[in-house]
Amino acid sequence: MGKVFAVLVTLITLISIAFFVMHTWWLPPNISTTGKAVDHQLEETLIGTGVLFLAGQLMLGCFAWMASGKTKDTRAKRFPGGATSVVVTAIVVVGIEIFTLTFVGSKAWGAIYLTPAEPGALRVDVQAEQFAFYFRYPGPDGQFGGLHPDKIDDGSGNYFGLDPANDVAARDDIVVGSLVVPVNRPIALSLHSKDVGHSFYVRELRMQEDFVPGLDIPLHFTATQVGKYEIVCTQLCGLGHYNMKAYLEVMSEPDYEQWLKTQAGQ
Amino acid sequence: MHEVSTHPVAHQHTAPTGFIRKYVFSLDHKVIGKQYYGLALVSVFIGMVLSWLLRIHLAYPDYHIPFLSKLSAVGAPGGVMTPEYYLSLLTMHGTLMVFFVLTNAPFAAFGNYFLPIQIGAEDMAFPRFNMMSFWTTFAAFVVMMASFFVADGPPISGWTAYAPLSAVGRDAGPGLALGQDLWAISIAIFCIASLLGALNFIATTLDLRARGMSLLRMPYSTWAWFVTSVIALLAFAVLLPACVLLILDRVAGTSFFIPAGLVLSDKLQPHSGGSPLLWQHLFWFFGHPEVYIAILPSIGIIATILPVFTRRPLLGPKALIGSMVAIGFLSYMVWGHHMFVSGMNPFSANIFSVPTLIITIPATIMTLLLTASLYGAKMRFDTPALFCLGFISVFISGGISGFYLAQPSLDTYLHATYFVVAHFHFVMAVASLFGVFAGTYFWFPKMFGRMMSESLGKWHFWLTFLGVYCVFMPMHYLGLVGNVRRYSAFVDDYLAPLIPVHRFITIAALLTGAAQLIFLWNLIWSRFRGPVASENPWEATSLEWATTSPPPFDNFGGKHPVVYHGPNELGVDGPDGTDFLMQTAAPKSS
Amino acid sequence: MNRKLLCLLPAAAVIFYAVKAGAGAPIPPPAGGTISGKVTYTGTPPKMKPIDMSKEPTCAKQHTTPVMTENVTTGPDSSLQYVVVYISEGDPGGAASTETVRYDQRGCQYLPHVLPMQAGQVLQIFNDDQTSHNIHPLAKVNPEWNKSQPAGSLPIDTKYDKPEFIPVKCNIHPWMHGYFVVLNTSHYAVTGPDGSFSLKGLPAGKYTVTAWQEQYGTQTQEVTIGSTETKTANFTFKALPY
Amino acid sequence: MGVDVQDAIHAGQKLGGSGLPPVTRNTRLPKVALSERPERSETGVWIGIFAIVMTFAALTSAMIVREGVALDWQHFQLPKILYLDTVILFFSSWTLETALSKLKEGENRFSAGMTWLAVTLALGGMFVIGQVVAWRVLAGQGLFLATNPSSSFFYVFTAAHALHLVGGILGLGYLIYKLNRTRSAARTTGIRATSLYWHFMDGLWVYLFVLLLARM
């Protein structure tokens, strides 16, 4: 019985690890300047924990195997070093693991969340609502119009609650359904929600941040690859949660300028 | 064996007569324990069926399930789930499993039945409170179930009920009107019940220990229940006011969690200034300790059972107990790791991540102690033993993924993906349930006086063990691809290729679930047909095995056990050729 | 067997066309008077905005030209579309018509944008898209409900008993916006792209005709007509750029 | 590992030698001046106190956070009657103590003790009524539960405390009823538990009152 268990555990462990090693299912390539550190961190963790996982399961398996054998004197074999060795090993091994991970990891985290966006960054105002993202560019005047929740009217496409009648800055604001940004240019997002909690998740940016109703949350990134990527909501926000998405379109500088012109025209 | 002492262990009360007092409103902790177990059993099977429905919908979105349209014509027109009904069932699955199964089965059920016996008491410290706490829990259960039958179904805000989604009411979507009210009320009631229960456990452990039962002589399970009840006492004491504030926001128009200027369903909400993050902080201050409320009792149960089958004392009893206490203590400093990307100050993420990683140390110590205790043993592979081994394996698997989620820098990618689902199902749900299974196979003879079928038990183990790995291991891969959880359908371009993986998981889940029917059948069959159990069939040392199976009303037939040893007297030269000493074994006076 | 079938084919064809012709036969014009007219605006109406459906590819690819918002839909020589014109007073009313009103969700748009119906008349809502929709009529007088309709599921049958202008929105696709206009009368019309309308089959009498536009509200006119007379009633709304 | 087993066995043999097993120390309780072994009910109250402290701590932090996140916090004057209430509750603690001392003195002072208990009960009732009056006063000023976060928290805090105090009143009532039956303090349990809870309620109120004074 113990032998069966040992074999089964070993098989499960090896198969599980195999899929990790073979990258059968894997992250999409990173396209942000801060993402590299995250990927590096992930590799570190994968190796470290992979070893622990393998060691733990195999140890369990092989002890179970031994335990099913013919051991005459039960007092004969004690775990070398007894409890103390176990405790010490745990503290040392896991301790080292933790120390290195925190040390390296906090840098990766800091680069994304603790450093402010460059002053020259392109500002985009992001509003999440049930169940879509809308993006606002300041328009030719470089000014964002003020927001008035009481003016919000999806029927007339006024998703943000702008007041063009009285607010000149709001008149040329560009509101679109996808986030279009120039490549290699720092982008500074300001996340705010119209109704409930949502989240901004772009796998390729290695980034996720919640929209919290009542707060404006800053988030900044620099995309290094031209292309079209999905922005999805990861915070349960209601019945359309699964369908709440938008596209991040990273364009070359000229394409972006062209796009901006056409938008301003409408 | 027993020594009669005049030391007042528990107040004398006589066995009740009459069905109601005996089986329904009973003061007997053993009956109450069974009642908790029954409630957990009902909940776990409802929860399991819900998970089946969810899995089927994910893998085969267009598959018609006629029975669903019976359950809710609105929620599943023609047997196909609407997105909101998927979320309703998801919420109920989570709520039932976390509160009514993982909190009730290993802690309330087994704790109620065995904590007093293991410390040599006649009953709980406050039998009336004990009865109240069960029936309050039952009331909570009924209220929760009622939400299935209200107009637009159970709430869709998940078991974490994040505000403002859970707070603004019907404008936020179906299920968030009456359904969410019932949810909040039910949880509030559940908190009261758990507080009563925890209070009772603590008082019992402190006051009613038999003569000679020093704290360090208590079995690990008792220790686990004791530590858990302390955690529960403080955790539910925070969730309760949180629920009250939520209910006030919903029904009384206050603004604790709802900020100003929210527009839902084209209506400007009449609230101002509330803080959604406040709910998250209050909830997770309860929510994370809740994880340990679910897992610690199982660890204790495993640590109690394993030595009985390795026939040797567990490695480092003090280290194990110390780790439990350490975890209980640390569990209050880590709640923020659920909120790394919640929009709270990113500095605090680094701060919360440290204790979160540190808490893995006591966890590792416990796992290693359990594993190392197998070394060089001659093991008896009865079903409880197998589930002990299974527990260690899944606990390792689930614990490992904790390393990832404890790091903010990785959480930015993995948060709210199936990686998280895999993590907490392994470490919290499956591990805890393996503890419950082990406990059931181990204590069933004591509870019902009959052994459970070994062959059925073994089938149950192998299928379940293999099954859970097939169900939850692939979810790690889904998480790495960035498959978001709580989606009722996968419409994103990058999710379509993952559907086959989801199909595999669904089929595995259905089969694993079916394997649980073997367990259910085993319970029923053994209850009536199982071979009659002796007083101490497993040759264990703790006090519950020093009385008849099942124990008499006052547990020890009027005697007051006196304890001479710790629970670790295994692999020693016991009386008449046995290899163990009961805790009550009087030392040879030579 | 096959030959028989072949012989039958022409016959079948003949019958088929006969039936079709019968169906297509001109219906005699309804007795009673007619009120017709045109709805226009003065001033500058707001510019309709293009709707970005990229979120829902199955819908986006159904539209070659971008779909515009429809809250103030204008036509040639300053005509206004989607204005509901109906008899608000003078119509004795009577039992609700038995024919069902059809409301479609196609290409992530509500068709029609404005749907008038008689109180008590059966309303059938269809989802013709490959995606789940959600219908949430924000009724205040009538009961409010909010249901999702997965792709390929049965139509939703419902009705409204009290007259009301009900905004309808899809919770899944925020841009989907329309109106149910529940009326006490069976005499109503919605202005077409050229802003014209006509209320036919009115018994002789004195009527109050009301025109309703979702953004600019209502206007009324008194009209008296004889049994077969046709009168004109034009409405003009004042439009603002914002 | 083996060490542990050996220890235990030795311990066992030592026991065997001395014959008497060690008696469990049952006074593992928060420090409290007690002559005799504590009653179980007292342990229960102590544990309950921890839970209640936790609850009010949670509410307090919630209030501080809530006051910080938005600018909509309006300060208002606490109703004057709360000062009176505070005095009443203080006084009730004192009457309770006198009652207990009288009861301890023995059978001859029993009825006096009972009278003081009744007084305490009455004072407790007066306090609750006082709180209700305070709510009426605020309502009179147009400050209702949902008017403003400050008023919301005021009602929540006072109501939560009043609810717990009602529990104390019921306990006290039950104690009086039992004493009346047994006619003796010696054979009645739960006296010290009740007084402990009552004094805790008193202290809790003082904390709340100061807190509310500072924040409202």
Window from A10-19, B244-253, B296-305, C63-72 with minimum mean pLDDT:
C63-72
What crossing angle do the helices spanning B431-448 and B276-310 adopt, rounded to 10°? 50
pLDDT tens by residue, C110-123? 999 999 999 999 99
How far apart are alpha carbons B522 and B441 in whole angstroms? 10
Mark whether C23 and C73 lie in a shared domain.
Answer: yes
Chain A's closest residue to B161, CA to CA, is A236
Chain B's closest residue to D45, CA to CA, is B199
| Identity of the residue numbered B483 | N
pLDDT tens by residue, D147-161? 999 999 999 999 999
| Residue B105 DSSP label | I
Domain stop point among A74, A93, A113: A113
Mark whether A128 and A173 lie in a shared domain.
Answer: yes
pLDDT tens for chain B, residues 1 to 590: 343 333 444 444 567 778 888 888 999 999 999 999 999 999 999 999 999 999 999 999 888 888 888 888 888 888 888 999 999 999 999 999 999 999 999 999 999 999 999 999 999 999 999 999 999 999 999 999 999 999 889 999 999 999 899 999 999 999 999 999 999 999 999 999 999 999 999 999 999 999 999 999 999 999 999 999 999 999 999 999 999 999 999 999 999 999 999 999 989 999 988 999 999 999 999 999 999 999 999 999 999 999 999 998 999 999 999 999 999 999 999 999 999 999 889 899 988 999 999 999 999 999 999 999 998 888 999 999 999 999 999 999 999 999 999 999 999 999 999 999 999 999 999 999 999 999 999 999 999 999 999 999 999 999 999 999 999 999 999 999 999 999 999 999 999 999 999 999 999 999 999 999 999 999 999 999 999 999 999 999 999 999 999 999 999 988 889 999 999 899 888 888 888 999 998 887 64
Cβ atoms of A198 and A244 within 8 Å: the answer is yes
The CATH number of whichever domain residue C118 belongs to comes to 2.60.40.420
Domains contained in chain A, number: 2
Is the minimum CB–CB distance between C231 and chain A shorter than 8 Å?
no
Beta pairing partners, C209: C87, C221
Mark whether A134 and A258 lie in a shared domain.
Answer: yes
Residue linked to tokens 């404006």: A216
Question: Cβ–Cβ of B565/D8 closer than 8 Å?
Answer: yes
| Residue A234 DSSP label | -
Chain D's closest residue to B255, CA to CA, is D149
User: Looking at the partner chain, which of B62, B152, B266 has a beta carbon nearest the beta carbon of C167?
Assistant: B266
Tokens read off for A126: 């992001």
Min CA distance, B338 vs chain D (Å)? 18
Q: Which of C138, C153, C169, C175 would you mutate first to test chain B, the one with the most B CBs within 10 A?
A: C153
What crossing angle do the helices spanning B29-59 and B127-146 adopt, rounded to 10°? 20
| Identity of the residue numbered D152 | S
Question: Cβ–Cβ of A156/C50 closer than 8 Å?
Answer: no
pLDDT tens for chain D, residues 1 to 216: 333 433 433 343 333 333 334 444 343 333 333 334 568 899 999 999 999 999 999 999 999 999 998 888 999 999 999 999 999 999 999 999 999 998 888 778 888 999 999 999 999 999 999 999 999 999 999 999 999 999 999 999 999 999 999 999 999 999 999 988 888 777 777 888 999 999 999 999 999 999 999 988
Mark whether C4 and C88 lie in a shared domain.
Answer: yes
Give the range of the structural domain holding residue C45, as residue numbers without chain letter.
1-93+190-242
Q: Which residues contact B148 (CB under 8 A, 6 or more apart)?
A: B71, B72, B92, B154
How far apart are alpha carbons B284 and B95 in whole angstroms? 15
3-class secondary structure for chain C?
A: CHHHHHHHHHHHHHHHHHHHHHHHCCCCCCCCEEEEEEEEEECCCCCCCECCCCCCHHHHCCCCCCCECCCCCEECCCEECCCEEEEEECCCCCCCCCCCEEEEEECCEEECCEEEEECCCCEEEEECCCCCEEEEECCCCCCCCCEEECCCCCCEEECCCCCEEEEEECCCCCCCEEEEEEECCCCEEECCCCCEEEEEEECCEEEEEEEEECCCEEEEEEEEECCCCEEECCEEEECCCC
How far apart are alpha carbons B193 and D200 in whole angstroms? 22
Question: Cβ–Cβ of A157/C49 closer than 8 Å?
Answer: yes
Tokens read off for B238: 């925070």
CB < 8 Å to C56, chain A: 243
Domain stop point among A113, A131, A154: A113
Q: Which of A228, A243, A259 would you mutate first to test chain C, the one with the most C CBs within 10 A?
A: A243
Mark whether A51 and A80 lie in a shared domain.
Answer: yes
User: Looking at the partner chain, which of B77, B174, B491 has a beta carbon nearest the beta carbon of C153?
Assistant: B77
What crossing angle do the helices spanning B276-310 and B110-118 adopt, rounded to 10°? 50
Task: Identify the pLDDT of residue B242.
Answer: 97
Percent over 90 (pLDDT), chain A:
74
Question: Cβ–Cβ of B242/D65 closer than 8 Å?
Answer: no
What was the ipTM of the complex prediction? 0.89
Chain C's closest residue to B84, CA to CA, is C148
How far apart are alpha carbons B452 and B442 in whole angstroms? 9
C 96-155 residues with CB below 8 A of A? 131-132, 134, 148
- What are the C-alpha distances in Å from D17 to residues B216, B575, B588, D25? 21, 18, 9, 21
Q: Sheet harboring A132-137: ordered strands across?
A: A174-176, A132-137, A122-129, A186-193, A217-222
Question: Cβ–Cβ of B203/D44 closer than 8 Å?
Answer: yes
| Residue A178 DSSP label | S
Phi then psi dihedrals of residue A202, to 5 deg: -125, 110
- What are the C-alpha distances in Å from C82 to residues C77, C115, C206? 16, 9, 25
Question: Cβ–Cβ of D54/B202 closer than 8 Å?
Answer: no
Task: Identify the pLDDT of residue B589.
Answer: 61
Domains contained in chain C, number: 2
How far apart are alpha carbons D85 and D81 in whole angstroms? 6
CB < 8 Å to C172, chain B: 83
Give the range of the structural domain holding residue A76, as residue numbers without chain letter.
2-113
Cβ atoms of B480 and B420 within 8 Å: the answer is no
CB < 8 Å to C240, chain A: 165
How far apart are alpha carbons B139 and B27 in whole angstroms? 17
Mark whether C127 and C101 lie in a shared domain.
Answer: yes
A 17-36 residues with CB below 8 A of C? none
The CATH number of whichever domain residue A220 belongs to comes to 2.60.40.420
pLDDT of A123 higher than 70: yes
pLDDT tens by residue, C168-218? 999 889 999 999 999 999 899 999 999 999 998 888 889 999 999 999 999
Task: Identify the pLDDT of residue C242.
Answer: 76
Question: Cβ–Cβ of D1/A83 closer than 8 Å?
Answer: yes
Mark whether C83 and C195 lie in a shared domain.
Answer: yes
- What are the C-alpha distances in Å from D115 to residues C113, D102, D110, D189? 79, 10, 9, 19
CA torsion sign for B448, B453, B454, B460 is negative
The subunits that touch chain D, with at least 3 C-beta pairs less than 8 Å apart, are: A, B
Min CA distance, C146 vs chain B (Å)? 7
CB < 8 Å to A244, chain C: 55
| Cis peptide bond N-terminal to B317, omega within 30 | no
Chain B's closest residue to A16, CA to CA, is B473
Question: Cβ–Cβ of A9/B407 closer than 8 Å?
Answer: no
Give the H/E segment covering residue B267.
Answer: strand B267-268
Mark whether C180 and C114 lie in a shared domain.
Answer: yes
Chain A's closest residue to D6, CA to CA, is A75
Task: Identify the pLDDT of residue C30.
Answer: 56
| Identity of the residue numbered B373 | S
Q: Give the number of other Cβ atoms within 10 Å of residue A26's Cβ.
A: 12
Give the burial class of D214: count Cβ atoms within 10 A of its Cβ; 0-12 exposed, 13-18 middle, 19 or more buried.
exposed
Task: Identify the pLDDT of residue B66.
Answer: 86
Q: Do chains C and D touch (3 or more CB pairs under 8 A)?
A: no
How far apart are alpha carbons B208 and B543 in whole angstroms? 14
Mark whether A93 and A127 lie in a shared domain.
Answer: no
Min CA distance, B507 vs chain C (Å)? 24
Q: Which domains are delineated in chain B? A: 21-259+274-577 (1.20.210.10)
Mark whether A254 and A126 lie in a shared domain.
Answer: yes
**CB-defined contacts B:C, below 8 A:** 43
What crossing angle do the helices spanning A2-22 and A35-67 adopt, rounded to 10°? 160
Task: Identify the pLDDT of residue D106.
Answer: 77
Min CA distance, D70 vs chain A (Å)? 9
Strands (E), D9-144: none
Beta pairing partners, C217: C213
| Residue B77 DSSP label | G
CB < 8 Å to A78, chain D: 1-2
Domain D39-215 superfamily per CATH: Cytochrome c oxidase, subunit III, four-helix bundle (1.20.120.80)
How far apart are alpha carbons B8 and B146 in whole angstroms? 45
Q: Do chains D and B touch (3 or more CB pairs under 8 A)?
A: yes
Give the H/E segment covering residue B107.
Answer: none
Strands C101-106 and C123-127: parallel
Domain stop point among C164, C184, C204: C184
Phi then psi dihedrals of residue C241, to 5 deg: -65, -30
Residue linked to tokens 């290094």: A224
Q: How far is CA D176 from the centre of its chain?
A: 18
Mark whether C72 and C110 lie in a shared domain.
Answer: no
pLDDT tens by residue, A58-79? 999 999 998 887 655 555 567 8
Average pLDDT of the segment spanning C98-127:
93
pLDDT tens by residue, A83-118? 898 899 899 989 998 888 888 888 889 989 999 988
Alpha-helix runs per DSSP H in B110-219: 110-118, 127-146, 178-207
Mark whether A17 and A57 lie in a shared domain.
Answer: yes
Torsion of CA B373, B374, B375, B376, to 10 degrees: 120
Q: Closest Cα partner for B452 from B373, B501, B521?
A: B521
Per DSSP, the three-state class of A221 is strand
Q: Do chains B and A touch (3 or more CB pairs under 8 A)?
A: yes
Mark whether A54 and A140 lie in a shared domain.
Answer: no
Min CA distance, C155 vs chain B (Å)? 10
Cβ atoms of D116 and D95 within 8 Å: the answer is yes
CB < 8 Å to B175, chain C: none
Question: Cβ–Cβ of D1/A214 closer than 8 Å?
Answer: no
Residue linked to tokens 């509160």: B99
Mark whether A21 and A151 lie in a shared domain.
Answer: no
Mean confidence (pLDDT) of chain C: 85
Domain stop point among C139, C168, C184: C184
Mark whether A218 and A249 lie in a shared domain.
Answer: yes
CB < 8 Å to B285, chain D: 58
How far apart are alpha carbons C173 and B372 in whole angstroms? 57
Give the H/E segment covering residue B305.
Answer: helix B276-310
Q: How far is CA B37 from the centre of its chain?
A: 11
User: Given pLDDT bands bounded at 50, 70 and 90, which one contains residue C21?
Assistant: very low
The residue with greater pLDDT, C88 or B1, is C88
| Cis peptide bond N-terminal to B164, omega within 30 | yes
How far apart are alpha carbons B402 and A94 in whole angstroms? 12
Mark whether C89 and C207 lie in a shared domain.
Answer: yes
Give the H/E segment covering residue B78.
Answer: none
Question: Cβ–Cβ of C153/B80 closer than 8 Å?
Answer: yes
Per DSSP, the three-state class of B374 is coil
Mark whether A129 and A236 lie in a shared domain.
Answer: yes
Domain stop point among A95, A113, A131: A113
Question: Cβ–Cβ of B285/D28 closer than 8 Å?
Answer: no
Tokens read off for D43: 């342990």
Task: Identify the pLDDT of residue B134.
Answer: 97
Q: Give the number of other Cβ atoms within 10 Å of residue C194's Cβ.
A: 14
The CATH number of whichever domain residue C196 belongs to comes to 2.60.40.1120
